Structure 1
Amino acid sequence: MSSDLLEALTALEKQKGISREVLIEAIETALVTAYRRNFNQAQNVRVDLNMDAGTMRVYSRKDVVMEEDIEDDHLQIALEEARKINPLYEIGDVVEEEVTPRDFGRIAAQTAKQVVTQRVREAERGMIYDEYVDRQDDIVNGVVERLDPRNIYVSLGKVEAVLPSNEQIPSESYRPHDRIKVYITKVERSSRGPQVFVSRTHPGLLRRLFEMEVPEIYDGIVEIKSIAREAGDRSKISVCAHNDDVDPVGSCVGARGNRVQTIVDELSGEKIDIVEWSENPEIFVANALSPAKVLDVLVNEEEKSTTVVVPDYQLSLAIGKRGQNARLAAKLTGWKIDIKSEADARELGIYPRTVTDVPEPADDGLEGDWYEDEDGTGDAQYDLYDEAETEESGEIDLYGERTADGATEPADED
């Protein structure tokens, strides 16, 4: 063994962070295997590398036993023979004797090179794994490398990530060399190196895009409370502010809708409804059904379900195309939502509610309207969500959808 190997190991320790002691131990283990394969498979041996002296020696190891107990003379030695080597040996001791082959140096050099190469590869894979496991649940930029019927393979620089078909937005198509922004969902170790799995449909992608685009979210002033997403088509996101002077919805929409439009463009036109979160389920469910106007929300705490009353002409809008608006609202709020038209609700006797039907209003800054019953009985009734104002400054209607110029108008049903 030459000093060149010592210098190489020292350089690897500095450049790759691989301990020289770990490499030496690995080389010694590999040399034992090489010796058994090339010289004596049955022998129990130990290899000693002295890197400072540049020497390598192979020692056979035999257990000291009584002569009549010997079963394999490659592994055992009689006490009488052992004491010829050293009179202090006792039963149970191990006798070591140098058995270094004359031409073992060439084999040792080849083995050492193979081990070092393997350990360097393992170390590099380990560093790549550590880098990307720390970036799990984050967005990265990549380049499409190749495609097959099931997956898109994306180069992230040091590693190739897999974008499975079920994590792809159906309306999107890619070709090799296209740039793509993806969300890392999982990082695994494998015999071929780190396996990185990415997504374009994960709700976390939408969350991170808002964190990147909206400074108030990044700084913690505005918080994303929940996300419901049907990737490529429509999403809903609920937000709240930890500062009374900040409009959480307006912060996310941006001046003339520029912030949310940037995210919509990144997601190939996916529609995004931004609503204000409330700890009051009546308010939250009503907000979540935006852009539909809501007249009342009846809450069943035990079943975590709600019955929502909407104007007759708003029923299809509240439900949405193929039930999408109601489905996303239920996912966003975590409440079951049953939507009734005003006519059906009146027929069932659940709308409008009388004074005795209405719980004490929550102190959330949003109030309903008391009015006299139209039948002339004089009973006071409560319309929780009858009116919503739109401010010219760009404030969002509680039940409408923000447009780029700050106006509020109903969204299309689809």
Structure 2
Amino acid sequence: MNLELIQALEDLEEDKGIPKEMLLDALKAALKSAYKKNFGSSQNVNIEIDEELGRVEVYADKEVVEEVSNPNLEISLAEAKDKEPDCELGDTVSVRATPENFGRIAAQTAKQVVIQRIREAERDIVYEEFINREGDILTGIVQRHHKDNVVIDLGKTEAILIPPEQIPNEAYEANERIKIYIVEVQKTTKGPNILVSRTHPGLLKRLFELEVPEIHDGIVEIKGVAREAGFRSKLAVASREPDIDAIGACVGPNGMRVQAVVSELNGEKVDIIEWSENPARLIANSLSPAEVIGVDIDEEEQVAQVVVPDHQLSLAIGKEGQNARLAAKLTGWKIDIKSESQLDEDTGIELQEEVDAEVDSDFDFTEIDLSE
């Protein structure tokens, strides 16, 4: 040990933000362990570091006794009084016990401790930075593929894009820049484990926040998101100012804003609908682009029966039920869709994959005027 080490600790405090006292405490603990390992584990020792001289000293705590039976733990009264004249039997005296070659051990231990603490501090700094970014969006660079996972370079660390969080049929080329959503940050002994996603609904929400100033400024609010990544999504928006068109703001001039989001998601279709506190209106809007004639809602069961023109039935349901499924996710309601002709039938009506009971001819539903 020497003054260069003390200076190095001070430099680390300034450059890395690692407190010198924390490093000194860690160094003392490591030196104490090294001493016990090399010179006797039974002794109760303390380590003292002279910061002015850069010198390390080992002191053993020994009990003052009349007759010494264990020299590692005991000291005679006469010998103890040479060190501390006021001591008495039963007292504890600190005796210098620094071995001749302890300087070499101290130097090696100090190097190991400093390196370890630097690594831990850097990991903690990265963790603290990214734990505050959970639920946020970042741009990363595709680093490499590891089995089915994609490793993303985030600058100070790497993130893992696992298969369930990858958009179906999306290729990830090395050095490609992509936007990712931070799902979770876990603290591990090897550093932060950052789980990211390209399929999370939050990614769609954050992308619109980046592209639409009205959303960023809080004028337009995203009320709900439903997504089947890589295929189609629905976004419900509302304006907090009556003279601002929420849908128009999200679409942007000539569709530029929504197209920027679609391009980032490699062509994923996005339906932007107007939010409404009226469940019937919201359900009708959610089935866009299909035209809805009426909606009958059962608030207790959270079920809605929707009537559409005959020629709009397949559009309302969507390919493999996708449009109706996304509408249900967006609104939180179970949605059964009927055509006008089905409504007039007296027998059971097959809706998607379920069979409803007989429908009365005086079926009562809320008419929706979509021209409003």
SS for the counterpart of 1:268 is coil
Residue 127 of structure 1 is matched in structure 2 by 125
Q: State, as a whole percentage, how many aligned pairs show the same letter.
A: 53
What CA distance in whole angstroms lies between the structure 2 residues aligned with 1:90 and 1:311?
Answer: 103
- The counterpart of 1:161, out of the listed 146, 159, 164, is 159
CA pair 311-24 structure 1, distance change in 2 beyond 3 A: same
CA pair 94-351 structure 1, distance change in 2 beyond 3 A: farther
The one-letter code matched in structure 1 to 2:367 is L
Deviations 1:208-254 (A, max 9, x none): 00000001000000000000000000000100000000110111011
Q: CA deviation at 1:92?
A: 5.5
- 1:46-85 pair list within 5 angstroms: 46-64=46-64, 73-77=71-75, 82=80, 85=83
Residue 316 of structure 1 is matched in structure 2 by 314
Residue 193 of structure 1 is matched in structure 2 by 191
What CA distance in whole angstroms lies between the structure 2 residues aligned with 1:287 and 1:79?
Answer: 93
What CA distance in whole angstroms lies between the structure 1 residues aligned with 2:66 and 2:222?
Answer: 77
Q: CA deviation at 1:16?
A: 0.8
CA pair 322-79 structure 1, distance change in 2 beyond 3 A: farther
Residue 360 of structure 2 is matched in structure 1 by 349
What CA distance in whole angstroms lies between the structure 2 residues aligned with 1:338 and 1:78?
Answer: 93
What CA distance in whole angstroms lies between the structure 1 residues aligned with 2:2 and 2:108?
Answer: 13
Residue 256 of structure 1 is matched in structure 2 by 254
Q: CA deviation at 1:257?
A: 1.2
What CA distance in whole angstroms lies between the structure 2 residues aligned with 1:311 and 1:91?
Answer: 102
Where does the alignment leave 5 or more consecutive residues of structure 2 unmatched?
346-358
The one-letter code matched in structure 1 to 2:298 is N
Q: Is the 8 A contact 1:342 1:351 kept in 2?
A: no
Q: Is the 8 A contact 1:309 1:351 kept in 2?
A: no
Residue 267 of structure 2 is matched in structure 1 by 269
Residue 351 of structure 2 is matched in structure 1 by none
Residue 403 of structure 1 is matched in structure 2 by none
SS for the counterpart of 1:201 is coil
**TM superposition outliers: structure 1 runs of 4+ over 3 Å:** 63-68, 75-93, 350-353
Q: Is the 8 A contact 2:84 2:93 kept in 1?
A: no
Q: Is the 8 A contact 2:80 2:87 kept in 1?
A: yes
Deviations 1:150-178 (A, max 9, x none): 21001111101100110000120112222
Matched, 1:211 2:209: yes
Residue 15 of structure 1 is matched in structure 2 by 15
- 1:36-51 pair list within 5 angstroms: 36-51=36-51
SS for the counterpart of 1:157 is coil
Comparing 124-133 with 216-225, greater Cα deviation is found at: 124-133
Q: Is the 8 A contact 2:233 2:269 kept in 1?
A: yes
What CA distance in whole angstroms lies between the structure 2 residues aligned with 1:350 and 1:64?
Answer: 104
CA pair 138-188 structure 1, distance change in 2 beyond 3 A: same
CA pair 313-114 structure 1, distance change in 2 beyond 3 A: same
Q: CA deviation at 1:82?
A: 4.8
Residue 136 of structure 1 is matched in structure 2 by 134
- The counterpart of 1:177, out of the listed 169, 175, 178, is 175
Residue 288 of structure 1 is matched in structure 2 by 286
What CA distance in whole angstroms lies between the structure 2 residues aligned with 1:237 and 1:39?
Answer: 70
What CA distance in whole angstroms lies between the structure 2 residues aligned with 1:195 and 1:276?
Answer: 38
What CA distance in whole angstroms lies between the structure 2 residues aligned with 1:19 and 1:388?
Answer: 65
The one-letter code matched in structure 2 to 1:123 is A
Cα RMSD, aligned residues only: 2.1
- The counterpart of 2:243, out of the listed 245, 261, 267, is 245
What CA distance in whole angstroms lies between the structure 2 residues aligned with 1:81 and 1:244?
Answer: 91
Comparing 153-162 with 79-88, greater Cα deviation is found at: 79-88
Q: CA deviation at 1:86?
A: 3.8
SS for the counterpart of 1:25 is helix
CA pair 66-205 structure 1, distance change in 2 beyond 3 A: farther
What CA distance in whole angstroms lies between the structure 2 residues aligned with 1:350 and 1:150?
Answer: 55
What CA distance in whole angstroms lies between the structure 2 residues aligned with 1:163 and 1:107?
Answer: 44
SS for the counterpart of 1:194 is strand
Q: CA deviation at 1:48?
A: 0.3
Q: Is the 8 A contact 1:345 1:351 kept in 2?
A: no
Q: CA deviation at 1:41?
A: 2.4
CA pair 350-207 structure 1, distance change in 2 beyond 3 A: farther
Aligned length: 359
The one-letter code matched in structure 1 to 2:232 is R
What CA distance in whole angstroms lies between the structure 2 residues aligned with 1:339 and 1:65?
Answer: 94
Q: CA deviation at 1:259?
A: 0.8
Residue 367 of structure 1 is matched in structure 2 by none
What CA distance in whole angstroms lies between the structure 2 residues aligned with 1:77 and 1:340?
Answer: 96
Deviations 1:35-80 (A, max 9, x none): 1122222222111001123221101123456869x7x553345668
Where does the alignment leave 5 or more consecutive residues of structure 1 unmatched?
359-382, 390-397, 399-414
The one-letter code matched in structure 2 to 1:251 is A
SS for the counterpart of 1:275 is strand
Q: Is the 8 A contact 1:46 1:58 kept in 2?
A: yes
Residue 330 of structure 1 is matched in structure 2 by 328
The one-letter code matched in structure 1 to 2:334 is K
SS for the counterpart of 1:290 is coil
CA pair 64-331 structure 1, distance change in 2 beyond 3 A: farther
Q: Is the 8 A contact 2:234 2:330 kept in 1?
A: yes
Q: Is the 8 A contact 1:138 1:184 kept in 2?
A: yes
- The counterpart of 1:96, out of the listed 85, 94, 103, is 94
SS for the counterpart of 1:211 is helix
Residue 384 of structure 1 is matched in structure 2 by 367
Residue 31 of structure 1 is matched in structure 2 by 31
